[in-house]
A and B are shown apart, each in its own frame.
Chain A
Amino acid sequence: MKISAGTSLKRDNTLSWCYNGGMNTSDPIVAGSGDRPTPFLASSRSGMRDLVRDLTPRYGFFSILATDCGGANFEVLPAERRVSESTWTERGFVIRASLDGRVAEVSLDVLPSSKELAVTLDTLLAEKSRIECLQADLAETEDRASWYPPATVDPLTLQASIILDRLDTLRLRAVAASPLVVTARTRAEWVRTSKLYLSDKRELEQSYLWGQAYVIVTVRRGEKTKQVFDAVSGLGGVELLDSLASCSEGTVADAVALLDAVSIEPGEYTVVLSPDMAGILAHEAFGHGVETDMFVKGRAKAAEYLGKRVGSPLVTMYDGAASAEQTGSFLFDDEGTGGSSTLVLDKGILVSGISDLLSARELGVRATGNGRRWSFTRKAYARMTNTFFTAGTSEESDLIAGVKYGWLIERSNSGMEDPKNWGIQLVALVGREIRDGKLTGKIASPVICTGFVPDVLGAVDAVSDTVELKGNGMCGKGYKEFVKVSSGAPWMRTKMRLG
Chain B
Amino acid sequence: MKYDQVTEYLRSRKDLSDWTWESSHEHSRELFFTRRRKDLSRAKDVEKGRLCIHADGFFPDGKLSRGSAVVSVPQSILRSELEALVDKALERARVSPTPRWSLPAPFPQPALVTAGAPAVALDLALLAVLRDAAFSAEEKPTNPSGRAHLAALELFLTEREHRLTSSTGADFHWSDLLAEAEAVAVASPLGTQGRVGTASSGLDEAELVESWSSSAMDPQALRVMIARLLNRVVDRADARPLYLLGDTPILITGDAVPEFFGYYFNRLSAPQIHMGASDARLGDSVYPFASDIGTVGAGGAGSMSRTSGTGGTLPGSRAGDLPTLGFDPALPGGTENRPADADGFALERTVLAEKGIIRAFEGPSRYASWLDVPAKGACTSRWVSPGTLGDAGLKAMDHLEACVFSDFYVDHASGDFGGELRLGILHRGNTRIPLTGGSISGSISQECGALRFTETLDQHGPFLGPSGVLLGKARIAAVEG
**B-facing residues in A417-459 (Cβ within 8 Å):** 418, 420-425, 427, 445-446, 448, 450, 452, 454
Contacts of B458 in A (CB 8 A): none
Using known A-B contacts A266-B476, A416-B407, A421-B204, determine if residue A83 contacts B95 with beta carbons closer than 8 Å.
yes
Is B275 within 8 A of A80, CB to CB?
yes
**How far, in Å, is B50 (CB) from chain A's closest CB?**
8
Closest to B411 in A: A446
| A296 interface residue (CB < 8 Å to B) | yes
Closest to A478 in B: B209
Using known A-B contacts A82-B96, A182-B277, A420-B207, determine if residue A427 contacts B418 with beta carbons closer than 8 Å.
yes
Is B70 within 8 A of A109, CB to CB?
no
A105 to B41, CA, bound (A): 6
| A81 interface residue (CB < 8 Å to B) | yes
A413 to B407, CA, bound (A): 12
Is A91 within 8 A of B74, CB to CB?
yes
Using known A-B contacts A79-B99, A478-B182, determine if residue A92 contacts B76 with beta carbons closer than 8 Å.
yes
- Contacts between the two chains (Cβ within 8 Å), count: 257
| A215 interface residue (CB < 8 Å to B) | no
Is B95 within 8 A of A499, CB to CB?
no
| A307 interface residue (CB < 8 Å to B) | no
Is B477 within 8 A of A84, CB to CB?
no
Closest to B98 in A: A80
Is B43 within 8 A of A120, CB to CB?
yes
Using known A-B contacts A83-B92, A160-B95, determine if residue A450 contacts B199 with beta carbons closer than 8 Å.
no
Contacts of A133 in B (CB 8 A): 37-39
Q: Of A104, A109, A297, A425, which is within 8 A of B74 by CB?
A: A109
Interface 0/1 of B267-279, CB less than 8 Å to A: 0000000111101
Is A105 within 8 A of B413, CB to CB?
no
Is A223 within 8 A of B291, CB to CB?
yes
Using known A-B contacts A81-B95, A448-B439, determine if residue A131 contacts B38 with beta carbons closer than 8 Å.
yes
A80 to B277, CA, bound (A): 14
A6 to B476, CA, bound (A): 42
Closest to A112 in B: B45
Contacts of A89 in B (CB 8 A): 72
**A-facing residues in B186-212 (Cβ within 8 Å):** 186, 199-200, 204-207, 209, 211
**How far, in Å, is A96 (CB) from chain B's closest CB?**
9
Closest to A181 in B: B276
A77 to B38, CA, bound (A): 49
Contacts of A83 in B (CB 8 A): 69-70, 92-93, 95-96
Contacts of B211 in A (CB 8 A): 478-480
| B438 interface residue (CB < 8 Å to A) | yes
**A-facing residues in B422-481 (Cβ within 8 Å):** 422, 437-441, 443, 445, 475-479
**How far, in Å, is A93 (CB) from chain B's closest CB?**
9
A105 to B420, CA, bound (A): 37
**B-facing residues in A44-84 (Cβ within 8 Å):** 70, 72, 77-84
Is A105 within 8 A of B40, CB to CB?
yes
| B105 interface residue (CB < 8 Å to A) | no
| B416 interface residue (CB < 8 Å to A) | yes
Is A85 within 8 A of B71, CB to CB?
yes
| A129 interface residue (CB < 8 Å to B) | yes
| B152 interface residue (CB < 8 Å to A) | yes
Using known A-B contacts A83-B96, A450-B439, determine if residue A297 contacts B184 with beta carbons closer than 8 Å.
yes
Is B40 within 8 A of A420, CB to CB?
no
Contacts of B290 in A (CB 8 A): 223
Segment of B13-21, B28-36, B352-360, B383-391 in the binding face: B28-36
A127 to B41, CA, bound (A): 10
Q: Of A379, A425, A497, which is within 8 A of B40 by CB?
A: A379
**How far, in Å, is B27 (CB) from chain A's closest CB?**
11
Using known A-B contacts A183-B277, A420-B205, A448-B419, determine if residue A164 contacts B96 with beta carbons closer than 8 Å.
yes
| B83 interface residue (CB < 8 Å to A) | no
Greatest chain B CB density within 10 A among A102, A129, A160, A452 is at A160
Is A107 within 8 A of B45, CB to CB?
yes
Greatest chain A CB density within 10 A among B48, B50, B370 is at B48
| A124 interface residue (CB < 8 Å to B) | yes
| B47 interface residue (CB < 8 Å to A) | yes
| B151 interface residue (CB < 8 Å to A) | yes
| B406 interface residue (CB < 8 Å to A) | yes
Using known A-B contacts A134-B38, A379-B32, A479-B211, determine if residue A425 contacts B419 with beta carbons closer than 8 Å.
yes
Contacts of B479 in A (CB 8 A): 497
**How far, in Å, is A23 (CB) from chain B's closest CB?**
30
Is B206 within 8 A of A421, CB to CB?
yes
**B-facing residues in A279-313 (Cβ within 8 Å):** 296-299, 301, 305
Interface 0/1 of B61-94, CB less than 8 Å to A: 0000001111110111000010000000001110
Is A110 within 8 A of B75, CB to CB?
yes
Contacts of B437 in A (CB 8 A): 423, 450
Is B438 within 8 A of A499, CB to CB?
yes
Is B275 within 8 A of A78, CB to CB?
yes
A110 to B47, CA, bound (A): 10
Contacts of A244 in B (CB 8 A): none
Contacts of A183 in B (CB 8 A): 275-277
Contacts of B68 in A (CB 8 A): 82
Q: Of B67, B128, B443, which is within 8 A of A129 by CB?
A: B128
Contacts of B44 in A (CB 8 A): 106-108, 377
| A242 interface residue (CB < 8 Å to B) | no
A480 to B184, CA, bound (A): 14
- Cβ-closest 10 pairs across A and B: A499-B477, A183-B276, A266-B477, A420-B207, A416-B407, A227-B413, A425-B420, A161-B95, A83-B92, A91-B74
Selected A-B contacts with CB under 8 Å, 18 pairs = A80-B275, A103-B39, A104-B40, A134-B34, A182-B277, A220-B279, A225-B288, A227-B414, A266-B478, A297-B151, A297-B184, A298-B151, A298-B205, A377-B44, A379-B32, A420-B205, A424-B406, A425-B419
- Apart from A84-B69, A124-B43, A416-B407: 20 A-B pairs, beta carbons within 8 A: A72-B92, A80-B96, A83-B93, A83-B95, A102-B41, A103-B41, A134-B40, A159-B95, A218-B413, A223-B290, A223-B291, A225-B277, A297-B151, A298-B151, A377-B26, A420-B206, A420-B207, A446-B409, A452-B200, A478-B182
Listed in ascending order, the chain A residues whose CB lies under 8 Å from chain B are 39-40, 70, 72, 77-85, 89-92, 102-110, 120, 123-125, 127, 129, 131-134, 159-161, 164, 182-183, 185, 218, 220, 223-227, 263, 266-267, 296-299, 301, 305, 358, 377, 379, 413-416, 418, 420-425, 427, 445-446, 448, 450, 452, 454, 478-480, 497-499
Listed in ascending order, the chain B residues whose CB lies under 8 Å from chain A are 26, 30, 32, 34-48, 50, 67-72, 74-76, 81, 91-93, 95-99, 123-124, 128, 151-152, 182, 184, 186, 199-200, 204-207, 209, 211, 274-277, 279, 288-292, 370, 406-407, 409, 411-414, 416, 418-420, 422, 437-441, 443, 445, 475-479
